């Protein structure tokens, strides 16, 4: 029996393969490139499953086998919630470095029959013994990598409890049914490709450090060769036991004991050069975990209702504030250069507020109402000029009465290392829609697999600030017992006149926020289809002096004019297989009316994703 860990407002009625990684030296498809266009057809890097149009339901994820699991679930009577859980569980098999029962996530759901949006917070929590000094030794914060491959970094996993809550309350089938495709795939295995080998190499030192991970993912301490079949009977057995006993198997059963023991006594390989610190998680921490259902964030933008995830995610609040700022500009009729200048400046000021105010609302006072108030956005918009502001800009004062056109506070730092994320979007024939972002944090998480259970443990606690950067500035994101670290995950559903139009989400740490915002602007302001909006080159800003951009964006005349006319400065995110610097391999689903759906997955980034529908339209 799961015991409630926190009391949060319930959801309110609304009007509403493998983690493959490509070189960002290859520009994203031009905005005009569609599935039948010459640019799309001739691009050898483009995923053949990037777009699908049809009826009966849709799934978009980063992996073909996982998307097939979701489609199979829809065909067997499951709804969008069942399909999202089935897809996520399958990703735990085929994408073990970014997904699995050792992680957590945020889910946004549109319930067609009830005409409302609900959210489920399945994010990991800090064990009860956590203090502000969790990652401090001898008076100094640990280096990030020192903290990451340790038991200290492991948060209480929320994924399985979230699946159970979602299916029990909103699904058509049983959790046991939804886990079926993942069990099958874990038993049969999948072929290791070059991308999986690249990802293994990136995490090799961490995987080598633990005997359990060496047995699971390596051969003689080295990556499996391309073409090898990776079976995971331990994970198949884990899923089968969860199917039989429910989520309590992980939170109050043998698996809970195994997780706590692994965290407290990491299975360290004697030959590793790493210093692996034990953690503090106990079986009581696992027993006390309970997913919550905060009300979704909501803003109006260009006649649409945009719903997202509330704190402790900063996705919905930061995106919502930026949209409110941008609503004061005629983005659709401005020059593309001016529109992108306003987009970057809106991000600059929204991230200043995000870094200062957003944390776990059970522990800090998050002024969410102010951050999402159009009147407050006006006090930020009036600071924007035709020249790029000198970052870091200061946060505003989102407490009523708003302080006019000023930035009274001191700038706050923001650590965000959440990289190995994935996003699943599903829709069904009844009109339900799910956007679901989940993660184990860095690629391979801690690198530590639970012996005999077939999955890696997260390093989600490293999303906390290790120490306050400035003692004079309150830090809302320091560790505490039971607290959730701030996240950037940003699953988003967009409605018009109470009916879903599209849903979208992305991986990529803090770039999740910029990616989703840019997709929304591309789709709602700049006239792109969702497919084009996902493929377009990325650019964003975290309240930093330079904005980050893909080479495909920097090669445009717009980028050059932004520097010449508006003083925007850019740093390029590029290079072969820089999987820790990718910008958003997004996925989405658009509802076209009369039961027609289009699933859109990333065409190139991370090797492209997989978009499928139940019945394909010719």
Taking residue 39's Cβ as centre, other Cβ atoms within 10 Å add up to 13
pLDDT digits (tens, 9 = 90+) for 521-560: 999 999 999 999 999 999 999 999 999 999 999 999 999 9
Q: What is the pLDDT of residue 574?
A: 58
Ordered by where they begin, the domains of the chain are 38-293+419-479+488-616 (3.60.20.40)
What is the band of 412 on the pLDDT scale with cuts at 50, 70, 90?
Answer: low
Q: What is the DSSP letter of 266?
A: -
Map tokens 């967009």 to a residue: 494
List pLDDT tens digits, range 40-99: 444 666 778 899 999 999 999 999 999 999 999 999 999 999 999 999 999 999 999 999
Q: Give residue-wise pLDDT tens across range 352-365.
A: 999 999 999 999 99
- Quick check: 116 pLDDT over 50? yes
For 579-601, write each residue's pLDDT tens digit: 445 688 899 999 999 999 999 99
Share of the chain above pLDDT 90, in %: 82
Higher-pLDDT residue of 20, 248? 248
Residues 6 or more apart from 370 whose CB is under 8 A from it?
Answer: 376, 398, 399, 400, 402
| Cβ 456 vs Cβ 449: under 8 Å | yes
Q: Is the pLDDT of residue 309 over 50?
A: yes
What is the rounded average pLDDT for all residues in the chain?
A: 90
How do residues 239-275 score in pLDDT, each as one tens digit?
999 999 999 999 999 999 999 999 999 999 999 999 9
Residue 360 has what pLDDT?
Answer: 97
Residues designated catalytic: 421
Contacts of 449 (CB under 8 A, 6+ apart): 210, 212, 213, 216, 217, 455, 456, 457
> Is the alpha carbon torsion for 437, 539, 589, 309 positive or negative?
positive
The CA–CA distances, whole Å, from 41 to 227, 402, 550 equal 27, 52, 22
Residues 118-133, mean pLDDT to the nearest whole number:
97
Q: Tell me, what's the pLDDT at 582? A: 60
Give the model's pLDDT for residue 108: 98
């Amino acid at each position: 029996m799961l015991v409630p860990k926190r009391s949060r407002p319930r959801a309110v009625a609304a009007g509403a393969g493998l983690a493959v990684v490509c070189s960002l030296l290859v520009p994203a498809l031009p905005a005009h490139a569609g599935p039948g266009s010459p640019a799309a057809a001739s691009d050898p890097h483009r995923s053949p499953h990037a777009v699908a149009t049809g009826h009966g339901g849709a799934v978009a994820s980063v992996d073909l086998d996982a998307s097939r699991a979701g489609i199979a679930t829809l065909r067997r009577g499951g709804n969008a919630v069942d399909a999202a859980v089935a897809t996520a569980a399958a990703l735990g098999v085929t994408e073990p470095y970014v997904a699995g029962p050792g992680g957590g996530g945020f889910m946004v759901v549109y319930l067609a029959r009830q005409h409302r949006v609900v959210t489920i917070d399945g994010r990991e929590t800090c064990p009860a013994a956590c203090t502000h000094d969790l990652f401090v030794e001898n008076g100094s914060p640990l280096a990030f990598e020192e903290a990451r491959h340790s038991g200290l970094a492991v948060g209480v996993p929320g994924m399985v409890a979230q699946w159970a809550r979602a299916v029990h309350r909103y699904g058509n089938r049983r959790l046991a049914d939804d886990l079926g495709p993942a069990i099958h795939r874990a038993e049969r295995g999948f072929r290791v490709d070059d991308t999986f080998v690249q990802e293994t190499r990136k995490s090799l030192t961490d995987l080598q450090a633990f005997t359990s991970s060496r047995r699971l993912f390596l051969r003689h301490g080295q990556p499996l060769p391309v073409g090898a079949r990776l079976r995971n009977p331990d994970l198949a057995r884990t899923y089968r036991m969860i199917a039989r006993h429910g989520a309590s198997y992980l939170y109050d059963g043998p698996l809970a004991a195994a997780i706590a023991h692994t965290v407290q006594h990491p299975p360290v390989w004697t030959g590793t050069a790493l210093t692996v610190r034990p953690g503090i998680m106990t079986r009581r921490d696992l027993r006390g975990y309970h997913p919550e259902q905060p009300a979704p964030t909501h803003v109006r933008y260009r006649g649409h209702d945009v719903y997202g995830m509330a704190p402790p995610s900063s996705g919905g609040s930061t995106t919502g504030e930026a949209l409110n700022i941008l609503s004061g500009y005629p983005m659709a009729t401005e020059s593309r250069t001016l529109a992108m200048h306003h987009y970057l400046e809106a991000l600059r000021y929204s991230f200043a507020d995000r870094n200062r105010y957003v944390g776990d609302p059970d522990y800090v006072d998050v002024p969410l109402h102010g951050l999402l108030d159009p009147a407050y956005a006006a006090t930020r918009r009036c600071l924007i000029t035709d020249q790029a502001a000198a970052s870091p800009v200061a946060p505003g004062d989102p407490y009523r009465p708003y302080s006019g056109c000023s930035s009274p506070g001191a700038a706050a730092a923001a650590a965000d290392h959440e990289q190995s994320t994935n996003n699943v979007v599903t829709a069904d024939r009844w009109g339900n829609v799910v956007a679901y972002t989940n993660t184990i944090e860095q690629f391979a998480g801690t690198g530590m697999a639970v012996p005999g259970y077939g999955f890696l443990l997260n390093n989600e606690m490293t999303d906390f600030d290790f120490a306050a950067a400035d003692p004079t500035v309150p830090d809302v994101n320091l560790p505490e017992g039971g607290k959730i670290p701030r996240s950037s995950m940003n699953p988003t559903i967009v409605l018009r006149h109470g009916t879903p139009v599209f849903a979208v989400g992305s991986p990529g740490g803090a770039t999740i926020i910029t990616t989703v915002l840019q997709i929304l602007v591309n789709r709602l302001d700049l006239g792109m289809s969702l497919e084009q909006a996902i493929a377009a080159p990325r650019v964003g800003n975290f309240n930093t002096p330079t904005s980050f951009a893909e080479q495909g964006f920097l090669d445009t005349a717009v980028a050059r004019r932004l520097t010449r006319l508006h003083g925007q400065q850019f740093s390029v995110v590029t290079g072969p297989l820089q999987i820790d610097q990718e910008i958003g391999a997004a996925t989405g689903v658009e509802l076209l009316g009369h039961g027609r759906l289009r699933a859109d997955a990333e065409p190139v980034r991370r090797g492209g994703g997989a978009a499928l529908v139940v019945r394909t339209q010719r």
